Amino acid sequence: MLERREAILQRIKEEGRVNVSELSREMNISAVTIRSDIRSMDSEGLLRRVRGGAVAVRDAEQPQELPYPSLSQHVPEKRAIAERADRYIDDGDTIFLDDASTTYYLAEKIRENTQRHLNVVTNCLSIAVLFWNRPNIELYMVGGSVGGNMPSTVGGEAAAWIEKIRVEKAFIGVHGLNMDVGLTSVASPQMLVKKAILKAARETYVMADSSKFDNGYLSVICPAEEVHMIITDSGISPEDRKKAESKKLPLVIVDV
């Protein structure tokens, strides 16, 4: 037991927090036992229990804030979409994750499964940090100048880098999705990257919560018919559902 507790504390020291499910799989011990260890160490002041795991004591002293505003918007919908998207990722896949907030939640979901081996390509620095020390993940970071709401490589240099690679599946977010015109964007640097991703991927999965539908736009990335699947939540309007059905768009709706 002492060795197990030391391993938990070491993980917290290195990463700032631990997840009960991850520890249970990695140590081949029941989640009940891991939770018992965490409760004991919490009472001793060695760590602080949080939902799903534990954090370092110093991190528990301050309210936990999400690093970027977009991550705090429509969180239940984004997590539900991410959970569904994760089902389409198979062991051994080479995937691309872009710099969208919903994609970040997918990255967190992927990170929980330590038994699935993946090649992950991303232009998002925050997503890269989640994977950099994972032995089951071969991580590739897109080069280029950094910008965007979540620090990411964007623009022509990043797009040129992406155009040289091929991935089996890409998971992307969008500024907006209009059933009549397609995937939309308001920023040219991000649009260049998304267009390059579409060319690089055999299958593209668009992750868009229902608030993204019928937004204003300046640029069209591509028609909706060109993507493999659109995953959204049950807040989508009846009108957009009907349009998707009439156009035979590959729309998957998750309940929230």
**Buried b / exposed e along 196-228 (16+ C-beta atoms within 10 A):** bbbebbeebbbbbbbebbbeebebebbebeebe
**Which residue's structure tokens are 């004591």?**
57
**Buried b / exposed e along 91-109 (16+ C-beta atoms within 10 A):** eebbbbbbbbbbbbbbbeb
Q: Do residues 57 and 48 lie in contact, with contact meaning Cβ atoms separated by under 8 Å?
A: yes
Q: Supply 94's token pair.
A: 């080479």
Under DSSP, the state recorded for 117 is -
Q: What is the pLDDT of residues 158-204, one digit of tens each?
A: 999 999 999 999 999 988 898 888 888 876 778 889 999 999 999 99
The fold adopted by the segment(s) 69-254 is: Rossmann fold (3.40.50)
Q: Supply 31's token pair.
A: 């989640």
pLDDT band, very low/low/confident/very high, at 47 (cuts 50, 70, 90):
confident
- Of 209, 188, 190, 119, which Cα lies nearest the Cα of 151? 190
Tell me the backbone φ, ψ of residue 92, rounded to 5 degrees. Answer: 90, -5
If you average pLDDT over residues 1-5, what whole number do you get? 82
60 CA to centre of own chain: 24
- Rounded to whole angstroms, the Cα distance separating 149 from 127 reads 13
Q: Give pLDDT, residue 58.
A: 62
Q: What is the pLDDT of residues 121-152, one digit of tens each?
A: 999 999 999 998 899 999 999 999 998 778 89
Domain boundaries, the chain: 2-60, 69-254
* Neighbouring C-beta atoms of residue 5, cutoff 10 Å: 16
Identify residue 66 by its one-letter amino acid code: L
CATH code for the part of the protein at 2-60: 1.10.10.10
